[in-house]
Amino acid sequence: MDTKILEDIGFTEGETKVYLSLLKMGATKTGPLAKEAQVSSSKVYKILDRLIKKGLAGHVTKGNIKYFTAMGPKRVLEYIEEKEKNLQEKKEIVKRIIPQLEMEQKLAGKKTEAVIYDGFKAVTNFFRGILDDLKSGEEYKVLGATYGNIPGLRAFFHNHHQRRVEKKIKLKMLANYDIKNSIEKTTYKNAEIRFLPQYLITPMEIVFYKNKVFIVLWTKSPVGFLLENEEAAKSFRAYFDTFWKIAK
């Protein structure tokens, strides 16, 4: 059984071990449980307390000794549904305060012109933002597109371009030559793509549209730099047009 799925839905490693051990052992004292789950005796009580609060464990007292048991596996599904409900409630709250937050941003004066995005999640969030910023028929450009050697990046861009096509957003891309035969198929839809010569291959990718320029390094821990400046965007457009003429 792949226990990682339990960690993906919010279990800690210790909670996963203890919960699965409880399922296997039935009603048990903490000593045998800690040994079976391979967690320290000092931690097992804290873990059990968290599982009880999640509704995934319980206990009975026999002769002044507590015996702990696991709630049925279907309770895990109920736990996920409760998390989804809570998340939806928080989402609705955020929706209600967004206009207020946007007003405060306007009152604060000029928008921030430079922002650093650190890590896979942050960098890919920028690409999600492109699809929010652009309307049907609008376009963004990419110079130096690549996948690097980053787990999950191909899958992300496969889905990203599917969403882009659904929104009818255009793409004009200069990809690195080394991905010419392996570029994700969804990228080609509603797009113009050419490939940079071998000698121009770089791990750096530049994305730009409107007054935004985003420079990202697809290293092991990706880092991106966003510049919001019309003059900079204009310069990169000219730079892109020059390379477009020599690309194939």
Average of per-residue pLDDT values in the chain? 87
**Token pair for 50:** 């968290």
List for the chain the helix, strand, coil content (%; round to 5).
50, 20, 25
How crowded is the C-beta side of 136, counted as CA atoms within 13 Å? 3
Measure the CA dihedral 144/149/153/158, to 10°: 70
CA distance 111 to 90: 27
Q: How is the chain split into domains, by residue range?
A: 4-74, 113-246
| pLDDT on residue 53 | 87
Domains 4-74 and 113-246 share a fold: no
For domain 4-74, which CATH number applies: 3.90.550.10, 3.40.50.720, 3.20.20.80, 1.10.10.10? Answer: 1.10.10.10
Read off the pLDDT of residues 149-176 as tens digits, 9 standing for 90 and up.
888 898 999 999 999 999 999 999 998 8
* Mean of pLDDT values over 50-74: 87
* Mean of pLDDT values over 39-51: 90
- Determine the CATH number of domain 113-246: 3.30.870.10
* Mean of pLDDT values over 208-219: 90
CA distance 206 to 141: 8
CA distance 7 to 24: 18
| pLDDT on residue 229 | 85
Read off the pLDDT of residues 69-95 as tens digits, 9 standing for 90 and up.
988 888 888 888 888 888 888 888 788
In the predicted structure, residue 228 carries a pLDDT above the cut 90:
no
| pLDDT on residue 180 | 83
Write down the pTM of the prediction.
Answer: 0.56
